[in-house]
């Protein structure tokens, strides 16, 4: 299964303070906007999404169809195919994708310890 780009999505209290902190660790902004309450920060191949007042808790995020630079991949596994594989293997999903559609869609699941995982396809 090709899950695409990986990042950690952090729910932050103060986006500007978090941005300043992660810049001190060598991250720079590569997407999002303070006015939209989220930023995508990058350091080498490492990505962190900072989200203020958009969701509770932190989660692992995968983006099928993208590489670590948010560039489109020529070949990728559609989120609906990933969903089908997970269901066939007994993985319970918190939110499922509409299998009658194509293009952007997402699914949510939890690992055995309750950690949220978002598989978010943008194209």
Residue carrying structure tokens 């983006």: 63
pLDDT at 102: 95
pLDDT in tens, 24-34: 999 999 999 99
Count of CA atoms in the C-beta half-sphere (13 A) of 67: 8
Give the integer Cα–Cα distance in Å for 102 and 80: 8
Mean pLDDT of 22-43: 97
- pLDDT confidence bin for 108, thresholds 50/70/90: very high
Q: How far apart are CA 42 and CA 39, in angstroms?
A: 10
Within 8 A by CB and 6+ apart from 82, the residues are: 1, 3, 64, 107, 119
Judged by DSSP in three states, 46 sits in strand
**Domains (range + CATH), the chain:** 5-121 (3.10.180.10)
pLDDT for res 50: 98
Question: Which pLDDT score is estimated for 89?
Answer: 97
pLDDT value of position 15:
98
Q: What is the dihedral of CA 85, 90, 95, 99, to 10 degrees?
A: 40
Predicted pLDDT of residue 37: 97
Map residue 20 onto helix, strand or coil: helix
For position 39, what pLDDT does the model report? 98
Average pLDDT estimate for 15-22: 98
The CA-atom distances, in angstroms, between 64 and each of 21, 43, 57, 80, 87 are 28, 20, 22, 10, 17
Q: What is the per-residue pLDDT across 49-100, written as a single tens digit (0 to 9) for each?
A: 999 999 999 999 999 999 999 999 999 999 999 999 999 999 999 999 999 9
């Amino acid at each position: 299964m090709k899950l695409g780009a990986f990042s950690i999505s952090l729910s932050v209290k103060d986006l500007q303070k978090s941005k300043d902190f992660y810049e001190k660790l060598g991250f720079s902004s590569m997407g999002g906007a303070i006015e939209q309450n989220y930023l995508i920060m990058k350091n080498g191949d490492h990505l962190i999404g900072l989200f203020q007042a958009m969701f509770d808790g932190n989660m692992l995020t995968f983006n099928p169809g993208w590489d670590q630079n948010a560039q489109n991949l020529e070949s990728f596994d559609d989120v609906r195919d990933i969903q089908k594989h997970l269901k066939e293997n007994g993985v319970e999903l918190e939110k499922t994708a509409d299998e009658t559609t194509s293009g952007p869609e997402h699914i949510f699941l939890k690992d055995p310890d309750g950690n949220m995982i978002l598989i978010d396809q943008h194209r």
